[in-house]
Every structure is written in structure tokens, then in C-alpha cells.
Structure 1
Amino acid sequence: MTFPHSGRRAAARSRAAVRGTRSRVRPANQAIRAAIASVPPMRDLLPRRSGLVLLGLGFVGAMVVSSSVPALAVSVSDTTASVYAPAQYTGDSVELEPQHIEVASDVVMPAAVAGASSYAVEAAPPPLLSQVASVGSISLIESDRIVWPVLTPERQSDGFGPRSAPCAGCSTVHDGVDFNPGNGTPVMAIADGVVVLATASGGGLGVNIEVQHNIAGTLVTSSYAHMQGGSMTVGVGDHVTAGQQIGRVGTTGQSTGPHLHLEMFGSDGVRFDGFAWLAMRVTG
């Protein structure tokens, strides 16, 4: 049936439609009121809700701890004894037991560990004291090395002892050994020692240096003569070492040509054959 869109009949239709709508809404409202009435009061829900909230927070905390803390830290109560053992717990403190090492019976210990009594300490020999007018008191340490005074000691022009005088005024008894390595070649100290004489006007010896040595606890003096003028590299009181250059071969003083005149003597001043002495003791 089609209702008219205007006039009294249309108005009556509209009122009837509204009444039908109200009749349909009323049952729905009643259902909502019934549902609301069935919900327990809030005071009855609070304990349950609080319990659920606490349970949820506990679960979340457990997840955070398990995902952020290393497994070793979580289970430390199970592994502490094995990591730090041996230990004794006394109240609030922990006392660690001393550690021990077991060595098999067939292990051979090194000599250095077996005992220090197997080593012997030998004291160095005392220095030799000497008195020289130009220097005073000298303390001479024993020299552990003896060398030739020139690089080619086999080249000699005259030996120690009696001889025919090679020049007017020259001695018929030669107090030293004449080495001929060549003019200007280095002259070296035969051993460690102290310079007790260094002069450019040594009379017949010309440019002359004397060095005192401690050779196996014995005082020995070596004298180097006829060296070049201005070639001395040391002075009185200087300490020298074996093989140290002290001058150069020359022909100053009473000399027949460039050579090194080497004299050697002990505390008594008596000269001896320096070549034979050196040949028995040169160590380098």
C-alpha cells in the first residue's frame, strides 16, 4: 500500500511510524537495563582486578629479567662453588683455602730451582795501590786483557839486551825492544792502567809516555818512546784501557829512524824483555 506524501493521511502515517519505532526501542532499552543489572558492583570487582594486575606485572617483570640478565648471572647460585672453589663460608665472610700444586714423582727439577747453594760467588781481586810523585796515590784495577803496542809486532829492528851501539852515544845494552811498524802508525797501551808520565822532552827518549798496570796483582810499568811530536792523546793521571791509542810512531829523541822503543819494568825499576813478556801474555 502506498501512503500519500502530504496531507492529513501523510501526517497520520508519520505518527504511526514513530509509535512503531518507540515500541521497538523500548524492548532494547529493557535488555540493556537487564544486562547492567546483572553486572556485580565495582566493590566486588576490585579484589579480582587487583589480583589480575599484580599477576600481569609479575609476568612482565619476569620476562624483562630473563631477557636482559646473562644466564650465568641468573644461575650464579648453582655455579659459584665451581668458579671460586675451594672456599669456606663463615657467616658473612668467605675464606679462600690455599692453592696447592701436585708434581709427578718422575719430574726432574732444574738445577736453579733445586737449590741456590750450588752457586759460588767469587770476589773481585782488590785494587793495587801505587805512589807516584807526579800523581800521588793510584788505585790500579787488575787488567783482564793484554795486547801488543803496535799492529805488526813481528817487525823489529832491535831486541832487548847486549848489542853493538847503533849510533854515537847509543847504549851497548838495550833496555827495550824496537818495533818498526812504520812512521805515524798508532801506538797503543798494552793493558788497562794509569798514565804516570807524558812528556815531549824526554831527553834521549824524545816524546815519551809511561803507564802503570796491575797485572795479576803485580805492578808493571810500560814506557813508549821516540813517538811523534804532538801525537800524544793522554795526560798524567788519565786512565787508559788495553788497546787504546796513546800516540804515533816517530823518531824524536836519540833515534836512528822511525820506530817505537818499548821498555818494561817492575816496582824495582829493573828493565826486562818486553817482547818475551808480551808473547807469553797477549790475550787479544
Structure 2
Amino acid sequence: MRRPARRRAEVATRTAPAPAQRSAASTRPAAPKRRPLRSLATLAIVAGLVAAVGIPAYGALVPETDAKTIQQAAEEGAQSLIVASEVKSSVLQRDSYSATTEAEIAKKKAAAAAAARAKMLGSTASVNIDLSLVGPGTGPVRWPLAKITRIGDGFMSRGGAHHGVDLISPGGTPIFASTSGVVRVSQESYYGYGVAIVIDGVIDGRKVSTLYSHMRYGSRTVGVGTHVQAGQVIGLVGATGRAFGNHLHFEVKINGSLVDPIAFLRANAG
């Protein structure tokens, strides 16, 4: 029994390290542990993130090779079309007046204005009248009829009892305002004048009154207080009141005094 114990002691003595060797081994630094698989996985993840973020951004910076028109852009996405300007094009049209001379243009404009006024104020006429008609001339004084067949009784005839002039014309012929102004009288029965209209205006600082009588019943187109323009249609030739046959009895007063209507028209009508 003693022999085996001794052998174990000898073997332990031979295999045990010397004190100096143990001290050197304990002070030597331990070698770092290597983890190659984990490092490779980390690098792969980082590279994937860089590729995922960088490649689309780079692609956005690459310009398109072909320029696109607004129409092409609209075809790709009409709801996101951006127009360069909000200015809308329009078709320019010529004036509706077909007249070429200054006088004709003024006549057309006066006709349009007269029709607009008559429509706004409401015509008193009960017969059919073309309210767009305009009397001849372009100045502040016009002839009351476009055409006069002949002149009947003249100014101050009948022993001075005739205060105007009779302008003979067929019944239904349009009558035009000789001057601009405001209607003072508009009646279906005005003394012996029958259907009559009186217009008061001012020309060159003078008060001018014009009277139109023996008009056709129901043909007055203006009422009291209506503003009229020279050349505006105001009624039709008739034979009402103390009249023998169709004609227009026309009178003119300047500052309250009667004047010869024919002389007045020939001196002032344009």
C-alpha cells in the first residue's frame, strides 16, 4: 500500500510547474477572442443600408434626357399640371357697328342709345314703332322728318295766327326730336294741336322749345319728364286735332319768343 502512494507523489512533483513558471504564466496577458462571423454580419448590414438610401437619392439627381412639353406633362398626370400663367386668352371682336364714316358711326350709336333709353323708360306708344330709328343729321339740331313731301302753311300765315309751319308727309311717317331736352308736354289731346309733344332744351346758352303736333293717336314714345336726344324718334305723323290731312305742325321758340321754324332748321340743322 505504501508503494503506490509514493509513486503518486513523485508523479505530482514532476508534473507540477515551478513557482517561477506559475508567476510568469499568471502575468502574461490573455489573447483576445476572435469573432470573425459577427464582424462580417455587421459590415453586411451597414452596406445594405447605404445601398438602400443612396441609390434612390442618386437616381433622383440624374436629369431626364428629353425635355417635356406642358401637354406631355399633362398626359402623365393631368391633376398635377402647373400652368405657367393664369392669363386667359380671348378672341378680340370688332365693334358691332358696320358703319365706316364718322357720321354713320354717330348715327348708329345714337340709335342704340335711343333704343336703350326707350326700353328702360318704357314706351307710351300703343302702335308698333321702330325705336331704333334716328333722324337725319349729326349736330345738336335735326330735321324733325327724314323726308318732307312739301311745306304747307308757313310761319305767321293766316293773318299771323299760324305760329309754326306745316310739314306735309304721309301718315305714319316717323317724327324725330329736333333738339335734345326734357319733355314738358306729352298728351293725346293738347288743345287744337291734338296729339302733341313739347321738348325744352338749351343750345348755346339759349332756351329752345320745340312743339310737334297733329301726331297719330297712340304713337307717342316719350312721356313728361323724359330726357330725349336730338334725332330720337318720338312719334308718327297723323291728322289729330284741328288738322286737315296728315302733316306735322312744328313750332320753335327761343327764350320764349316764336321764330320761323324753317329758317331755324336751315341755319342750325346738321
Q: What is the TM-score with the length of structure 1 in the denominator?
A: 0.49
Q: 1:160: how far off?
A: 2.6
Q: 1:271: how far off?
A: 0.8
Where structure 1 has 5 or more consecutive residues not aligned to the other structure, the ranges are 1-40, 73-142, 166-170
Given that 1:158 and 1:178 are in contact with CA atoms closer than 8 Å, whether structure 2 keeps it comes out as yes
131, 141, 145: which one aligns with 1:150: 145
User: Secondary structure of 1:220's match?
Assistant: strand
Q: 1:255: how far off?
A: 2.9
Q: Residues 53 and 252 (structure 1 numbering): CA distance in 2 closer, same or farther, change over 3 Å?
A: closer
Q: Residues 49 and 42 (structure 1 numbering): CA distance in 2 closer, same or farther, change over 3 Å?
A: farther
The aligned residue for residue 159 of structure 1 is 154
Given that 2:154 and 2:162 are in contact with CA atoms closer than 8 Å, whether structure 1 keeps it comes out as yes
The aligned residue for residue 62 of structure 2 is 71
CA distance in 2, matches of 1:154, 1:182: 8
228, 237, 246: which one aligns with 1:249: 237
258, 268, 271: which one aligns with 2:246: 258
CA distance in 1, matches of 2:52, 2:215: 103
Where structure 2 has 5 or more consecutive residues not aligned to the other structure, the ranges are 1-32, 64-137
The aligned residue for residue 61 of structure 1 is 53
258, 265, 270: which one aligns with 1:278: 265
Given that 1:193 and 1:214 are in contact with CA atoms closer than 8 Å, whether structure 2 keeps it comes out as yes
Given that 2:172 and 2:237 are in contact with CA atoms closer than 8 Å, whether structure 1 keeps it comes out as yes
Q: Residues 195 and 71 (structure 1 numbering): CA distance in 2 closer, same or farther, change over 3 Å?
A: same
Q: Residues 281 and 70 (structure 1 numbering): CA distance in 2 closer, same or farther, change over 3 Å?
A: farther
Residues 233-275 of structure 1 deviation map (CA, whole Å, 9 limit, x = unaligned): 33322222333332322223333332111000022x2111222
Given that 2:140 and 2:203 are in contact with CA atoms closer than 8 Å, whether structure 1 keeps it comes out as no
* More strand by percentage: 1
User: Secondary structure of 2:201's match?
Assistant: strand
Q: 1:62: how far off?
A: 2.2
User: Secondary structure of 2:144's match?
Assistant: coil
For these two proteins, the number of residue pairs brought into alignment is 164
The one-letter code matched in structure 1 to 2:146 is L
Q: 1:60: how far off?
A: 4.1
Identity among equivalent positions (%) equals 36
Q: Residues 60 and 201 (structure 1 numbering): CA distance in 2 closer, same or farther, change over 3 Å?
A: closer
31, 36, 42: which one aligns with 1:44: 36
Given that 1:151 and 1:181 are in contact with CA atoms closer than 8 Å, whether structure 2 keeps it comes out as no
Q: Which of structures 1 and 2 has the larger relative contact order (alpha carbons within 8 angstroms, sep 6+)?
A: 2
Q: Residues 57 and 197 (structure 1 numbering): CA distance in 2 closer, same or farther, change over 3 Å?
A: closer
The aligned residue for residue 210 of structure 1 is 198
Structure 1 stretches of at least 4 aligned residues deviating more than 4 Å after TM superposition: none
Q: Residues 70 and 217 (structure 1 numbering): CA distance in 2 closer, same or farther, change over 3 Å?
A: farther
CA distance in 2, matches of 1:44, 1:258: 129
Given that 1:221 and 1:264 are in contact with CA atoms closer than 8 Å, whether structure 2 keeps it comes out as yes
User: Secondary structure of 1:184's match?
Assistant: coil
Q: Residues 215 and 62 (structure 1 numbering): CA distance in 2 closer, same or farther, change over 3 Å?
A: same
Q: Residues 277 and 59 (structure 1 numbering): CA distance in 2 closer, same or farther, change over 3 Å?
A: same
User: Secondary structure of 1:264's match?
Assistant: strand
User: Secondary structure of 1:190's match?
Assistant: coil
CA distance in 1, matches of 2:41, 2:218: 115
Q: 1:280: how far off?
A: 3.4
